């Protein structure tokens, strides 16, 4: 009787909200309510700061927290994920806005949302793990550097003659305009940094960023010192998010596809990383594909209601968990509270000093840079991984994230293929060695006199194709046995290499026998017609039967 084996269940495409509400209680609602309010207070200054770093108005950061935060909580695959604007997108958004305008940003973000929904529906959630960690670490640190450089102007109160977009140009302009430093602005910036660093050590419950905003805004307003505030540089709106549709043309869509893919990949990676962190904190398991669908819908909603790209925010998600949030209700409460703040208190945002915003972003950049990961990589990783990390980092700073991710993935793929090629090899065996005690070792087998056995180890793919050229250097044989028990996979070039070997054997009247061909290589060889060409009876399941078959072929050749 066949034994019933339980197959792993396929991940549901069902929002976590609908699952957790079955056993929802009044006690948990109170905890979620408190957590949602606290996270909203944390999100307020961060959303404004990240919007300004992205080159858009302060209210657009709040629109993102409201719309995207609510949609992700309602549809998401995590119990505690908090979504909103994050530092990872600041440089991307600023670049798109500078070159394509707000309409270009909206179209890019909507397309990115569609891409993420498709990724979720086609179960691509698990594939995100194949993006090398060195690339993620590299561009994350690079983004942190660009954010830090971008805020030096406001932190020092410098007066620029130009408004550079590229990071390298910003560094040049900072150096040229250092003589315009505003010492009062620097003083407010240093005070803000001191509060942001020291306050959490004394009283963690009240967000340090909120305290820095209140204290420094009061000092600037009451003292009348010469320090730029948000109101001096931006017009403040307390209007709720309004649905807007940009003018769309095929040419515009085509031009913005690279930006859309960058936003989609980055949002997917950061959101799923946040989910993994949250799972570890609450002992739960998120639904990655549902999360991708939710993030896609959230980005579409955010863009169409005046916001910017959004993703799961690790810091805000962690704050939600620490304050008792355990269901998506907390994320929904967070969005509603941010909306109330927008409608009631937004005019007061005009009083926030720009050096304080810069200080908040300095701390964000420090927290996201992951310098410990880089230190550990340098200490423990192979040189090839270190090279990928630093190439991605440098390209992120000097060029942009689109170029950095593209170059990083191509470089990582090339180095991986080289690594695989280095471990792929073919050995020839012709006689017995009594010293080996492995019963399956070819050295302990009796090989027919006019037979040569080659054992291939490792994947057969294009980067390793040159390893098999010498396989028929000895033409004075009757049978060539190719043992493939350690070949997990072949690609088209690998099959082509085997086909060339078979053709060469045919020209020299040498028969070919294959031993222990695994499932994927066998399927590829069948598809290419190689199995039919060699003959199914020349494919043996074990080396012993392959050697018996070789002996039969030798006898046949001798009798002829």
Q: Per residue in 204-215, pLDDT tens? A: 777 888 899 999
**Residue-level pLDDT at 69:** 97
**Residue-wise DSSP of 120-182:** HHTT-GGGGGGS-HHHHHHHHHHHHHHHHHHHHHHHHT---SS---SHHHHHHHHHHTGGG--
- Which is nearest to 536 in space by CA: 513, 556, 557? 513
Q: What is the pLDDT of residue 254?
A: 94
Check pLDDT > 60 for residue 433: no
In terms of DSSP bridges, do strands 311-312 and 511-515 run parallel, antiparallel, or are they unpaired?
A: unpaired
pLDDT score, position 441: 65
60-64, 82-86, 361-365: the lowest-pLDDT one: 361-365
CB atoms within 10 A of CB 8: 5
Q: Which residue, 155, 209, 41, 139, is CA-closest to 368?
A: 139
pLDDT over 60 (residue 80): yes
Calpha distance 290→125 (Å, rounded) = 8
Q: What is the band of 311 on the pLDDT scale with cuts at 50, 70, 90?
A: very high
- Nearest Cα residue to 481 out of 430, 440, 437, 434: 430
More confident call, 367 vs 538: 538
pLDDT digits (tens, 9 = 90+) for 169-184: 889 999 999 999 999 9
Q: Which residues contact 97 (CB under 8 A, 6 or more apart)?
A: 54, 55, 56, 104, 105
At 444, the pLDDT band (50, 70, 90 cuts) reads low
Please give the distance of CA 369 from its chain centroid, rounded to a whole number: 15
- In CATH terms, the fold of domain 425-559 is Transcription Regulator spoIIAA (3.30.750)
**434 has pLDDT over 70:** no
Res. 429 pLDDT band, cuts 50 70 90 = low
How many angstroms separate the CA atoms of 435 and 428, rounded? 18
Model pLDDT, residue 462: 67
CA angle 117, 277, 197 (to 5 degrees): 120
Calculate the alpha carbon distances from 313 to 64, 69, 331, 538, 540 in Å.
12, 10, 11, 58, 55
Q: Does residue 446 surpass a pLDDT of 50?
A: yes
- Model confidence band, residue 400 (pLDDT cutoffs 50, 70, 90): confident
- The Cα–Cα gap between 381 and 133 comes to 11
Q: Provide the 3-class DSSP secondary structure of residue 453.
A: strand
Maximum CA extent, the chain: 109
Write out pLDDT tens, residues 325-368: 999 999 999 999 999 999 998 888 889 999 998 998 898 888 87
What confidence category does residue 1 fall into, taking pLDDT thresholds of 50, 70 and 90? very low
Per the DSSP assignment, residues forming a β-bridge with 539 are 514
- Examine the pLDDT at 3 and tell me if it is beyond 80: no
Average pLDDT of span 480-500? 87
The pLDDT of residue 92 is: 87
Please report which confidence band the pLDDT of residue 475 belongs to, taking 50, 70 and 90 as the band edges.
low
- Residue written as token pair 């998506």: 328
Domain ranges of the chain: 26-240+269-413, 425-559
H or E segment and range at residue 454: strand 451-457
What is the average pLDDT value for the chain, to the nearest integer? Answer: 86
For residue 471, the 8-state DSSP code is G
Query: For residues 460 and 112, which has the higher predicted lDDT (pLDDT)?
Result: 112
Are 505 and 512 within 8 A, CB to CB? yes
Asked if pLDDT for residue 538 goes beyond 90, the answer is yes
> Which residues are CB-neighbours of 504 under 8 A, at least 6 positions away?
472
Mean pLDDT across the stretch 11-25? 90
pLDDT tens string 270-308: 898 788 778 877 888 899 999 999 999 999 999 999 999
List of residues 6+ apart from 510 with CB closer than 8 A: 472, 475, 477, 478, 479, 480
Specify the DSSP class assigned to residue 528: T
């Amino acid at each position: 009787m066949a034994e019933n084996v339980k197959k792993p269940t396929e991940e549901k495409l069902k929002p976590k909200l609908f699952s957790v509400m079955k056993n929802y209680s009044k006690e948990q609602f109170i905890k979620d309510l408190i957590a949602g309010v606290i996270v909203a207070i944390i999100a307020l200054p961060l959303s404004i700061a990240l919007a300004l770093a992205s080159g858009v108005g302060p209210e657009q950061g709040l629109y993102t927290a409201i719309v995207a935060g609510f949609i992700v909580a309602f549809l998401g695959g995590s119990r505690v994920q908090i979504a909103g604007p994050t530092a990872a997108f600041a440089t991307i958004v600023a670049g798109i806005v500078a070159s394509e305008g707000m309409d270009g940003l909206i179209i890019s973000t909507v397309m990115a949302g569609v891409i993420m929904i498709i990724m979720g529906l086609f179960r691509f959630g698990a594939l995100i793990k194949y993006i090398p960690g060195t690339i993620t670490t590299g561009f994350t640190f690079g983004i942190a550097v660009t954010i830090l450089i971008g805020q030096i102007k406001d932190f020092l109160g410098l007066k620029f003659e130009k408004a550079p977009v590229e990071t390298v140009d910003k560094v040049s302009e900072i150096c040229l305009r250092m003589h315009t430093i505003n010492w009062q602005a620097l003083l407010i910036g240093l005070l803000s940094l001191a509060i942001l660093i020291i306050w959490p050590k004394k009283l963690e419950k009240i967000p340090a960023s909120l305290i820095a905003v209140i204290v420094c805004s009061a000092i600037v307003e009451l003292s009348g010192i010469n320090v730029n505030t948000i109101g001096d540089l931006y017009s403040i709106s307390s209007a709720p998010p309004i649905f807007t549709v940009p003018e769309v043309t095929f040419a515009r869509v085509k031009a913005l596809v690279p930006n859309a893919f960058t936003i989609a990949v980055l949002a997917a990676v950061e959101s799923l990383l946040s989910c993994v962190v949250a799972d570890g904190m609450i002992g739960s398991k998120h639904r990655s594909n549902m999360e991708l669908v939710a993030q896609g819908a959230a980005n579409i909603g955010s863009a169409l209601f005046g916001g910017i790209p959004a993703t799961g925010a690790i810091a805000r998600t962690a704050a939600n968990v620490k304050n008792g949030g355990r269901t998506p209700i907390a994320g929904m409460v967070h969005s509603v509270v941010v909306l109330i703040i927008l409608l009631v208190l937004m005019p007061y945002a005009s009083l926030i000093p720009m050096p304080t915003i810069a200080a908040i972003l300095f701390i964000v950049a420090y927290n996201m840079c992951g310098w410990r990961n880089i230190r550990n990589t340098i200490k423990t990783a192979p040189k090839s991984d270190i090279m990928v990390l630093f190439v991605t980092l440098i390209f992120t700073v000097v060029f942009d994230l689109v170029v950095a991710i593209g170059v990083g993935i191509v470089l990582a793929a090339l180095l991986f293929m080289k690594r695989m090629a280095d471990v792929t090899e073919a050995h020839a065996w012709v006689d017995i060695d009594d010293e080996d005690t492995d019963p399956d070792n070819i050295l302990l087998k009796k090989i027919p006199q006019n037979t040569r056995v080659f054992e291939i180890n490792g994947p057969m793919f294009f980067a390793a194709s040159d390893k098999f050229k010498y396989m028929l250097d000895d033409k004075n044989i009757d049978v060539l046995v190719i043992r493939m028990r350690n070949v997990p996979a072949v690609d088209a070039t690998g099959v082509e290499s085997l086909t060339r070997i078979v053709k060469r054997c045919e020209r020299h009247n040498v028969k070919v026998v294959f031993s222990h061909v695994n499932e994927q290589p066998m399927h590829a060889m069948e598809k290419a017609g190689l199995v039919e060409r060699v003959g199914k009876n020349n494919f043996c399941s074990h080396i012993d039967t392959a050697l018996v078959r070789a002996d039969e072929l030798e006898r046949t050749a001798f009798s002829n």
